[in-house]
Amino acid sequence: MSTVTAERPTVRTAESGGAGWQGSSVFTQVMVFAGRSLRALREPRLLIMSLIQPFVMLVLFSQVFRGIANGPGFPAGANYIDYLMPAILVTTSTQSAMGAGAGLANDLRNGVLGRFRAMPVRLVSVLVGRSLYDLVRNTLQLGILLVAAAALFGFAPAGGVVGTLCALALALFVGWGVSWVLIALASWLRNVEVMQMVGFIAMFPLMFASSAFVPVGGMPEWLQAVARVNPLTYAVDASRGLAFGSATASSVVGALVTSAALALVGGALAARGIRRP
């Protein structure tokens, strides 16, 4: 009785990068994956849901807690809404980054990535596509918030439209940098619930133990010490400086460099994490 052995054909994927690879360019792959994620925006309910929390915070702080402007250390002559809005942009942007991590963790859990592995695509393009989608969604979200703040609550900072757009761009870049850290975490943890918990536990203290809602000078000394080393304080101060037209180059460059470093480290870790079986 003879034994028949069938040789398994070698599949050349983008990861192995063999000579037989005839697939599309990395740019095309990224665009396809970004487009796949962007289809979610066809359902406006998701965008509306993501706007509820920042809008509630905007209303609460600008209308109910506007007395904060009478507290110690508040900049003289500034409206609380002008002081608040750049912080809302940064905090909303970083909170959206949590969605990036949870979304990827969901993809990893429901087996979509397993299908992509069988295709001739670079897995890194899945991550970059996801990141681009989050950037687009974040831009829409923050744009709507800005329009609402200007139309409903009279947001009109000293830096004018240019300053506001610069503050928006900085907030988006900070959020994009943070999103890579959470994408990296998701690629290693692969658990939606854990990602949401990690995001909340990290974001809540970062958000409130910072200069986002009250001047650091009005806090107790022990909390001032925390706020002064909180990276979100630097991002908020830079964004606020741009909106007020009083930003220093060092504060803006510091925020940009930190965000870029987070994106690089997060990207490298994510690229390794996603290749794990």
Is residue 235 at the binding interface for another protein, with CB under 8 A as the rule? no
Are 234 and 225 in contact by the 8 Å Cβ rule? The answer is no
The span of 70-78, 84-92, 109-117, 252-260 binding another protein (CB under 8 A) equals 70-78
Sequence letter at residue 152: L
Is residue 188 at the binding interface for another protein, with CB under 8 A as the rule? no
Is residue 213 at the binding interface for another protein, with CB under 8 A as the rule? yes
Is residue 77 at the binding interface for another protein, with CB under 8 A as the rule? no
User: Any residues with CB less than 8 A from the CB of 161 and at least 6 apart, and which?
Assistant: none
**Residue 27 Cβ vs another protein, minimum distance, rounded to whole Å:** 39
- Residue from 74, 113, 120, 144 in contact with another protein (CB under 8 A): 74
Give the whole-angstrom CA distance, residue 188 versus residue 186: 5
- Residue from 9, 44, 220, 277 in contact with another protein (CB under 8 A): 220
Distances (CA, A) of 221 to 57, 139, 193, 218: 26, 36, 35, 9
Are 179 and 196 in contact by the 8 Å Cβ rule? The answer is no
Sequence letter at residue 79: N
Is residue 28 at the binding interface for another protein, with CB under 8 A as the rule? no
Is residue 218 at the binding interface for another protein, with CB under 8 A as the rule? yes
Give the whole-angstrom CA distance, residue 263 versus residue 183: 10
Is residue 66 at the binding interface for another protein, with CB under 8 A as the rule? yes
- Of the pair 186, 219, the CB lying nearest another protein is at 219
Sequence letter at residue 170: L
Is residue 208 at the binding interface for another protein, with CB under 8 A as the rule? yes
The two tokens of residue 103 are 């979304």
List residues binding another protein (CB under 8 A).
Answer: 56, 60, 63-68, 70-72, 74, 204, 208-209, 213-215, 218-220, 223
